[in-house]
Amino acid sequence: MSKNAKQNLADSKKMSAELFCLTYGSLVTELLRDYEDPKEVTMQLDKMGFNMGTRLADDFLAKNSNVPRCTDCRQIAEVLCKNAIPCYLGTTANSSNWVGGDREFTIVIENNPLNELVQVPPNLLAAGLSYSQVIAGAIRGALEAVHFKVYATAMENGANTEIRIRFDSVLKDNLPAGEDD
């Protein structure tokens, strides 16, 4: 902090992952109390993630001017795994399981910081709670902010979190003036 030596890419401030994880945990607990149905909670988390994603997309593009414009799903996955997820979650991710002519893929997030210190009761998982759905929602929101419509769902898988992403379409109509190249 003394000299601004560590101003590398992103140039972003860091904070305790535990405070972040526990804060998210208390939000999920509150939602479970308010909604009772775990499926409904998953939907709410997805909505909140969407709102977060649209704002993070701005933040990301403002701080990473070197990231090129994506033209296909392979590039989207590459930017998500190599840039966005390490930047915002401080962990690594890989894409795999490409199907449907590269229109559907899975991102595996290792050491998901949201799952640190957390144990989700199996009965809630069985009833449809997807604990990390907020990440899927954020990806959906962030991509929609750059005019890609996707469907995303999160699944816990032992130590890792898998985000299944299905590409739907490019949103051409609401392209703001001057953005087209």
Partner 1 sequence: SLSRGKAEVNLSTFAVLFSEMVRYAQNRSETVTDIHDKLASYGKQVGYRMFDIITLREKGYKRETKLLGILMFIKSTVWKNLFGKEADKLERSNDDQCTYLLIEKDPMVNTFISVPKDKGVLNCAAFVAGIVEAILESASFTCKVTAHWHSGTAYVIQFDESLPTM
Which spans of this chain sit near partner 1 (rule: CB under 8 A)? 10, 12-20, 22-27, 29-30, 34, 48, 51-52, 55-56, 59, 87-90, 113, 116-117, 134
Shortest reach from residue 150's CB to partner 1, in Å: 19
**Shorter beta-carbon distance to partner 1: residue 51 or 96:** 51
In the complex, the smallest distance separating the C-beta of residue 60 from partner 1, rounded to whole angstroms, is 9
Most distant CA atoms of the chain, gap in Å: 51
Using DSSP, state whether 119 is helix, strand or coil.
coil
Taking CA atoms, 158 is separated from 15, 21, 84, 120, 138, in Å, by 26, 18, 23, 12, 22
Residue spans of alpha helices (H) in 84-131: 85-89, 122-126
Least distance to partner 1, CB of residue 26, Å: 4
State in angstroms the smallest separation of the CB of 23 from partner 1. Answer: 6
Q: Which is nearer to partner 1, 30 or 102 (CB)?
A: 30
Nearest to 173 by CA among 139, 147, 155, 151: 147
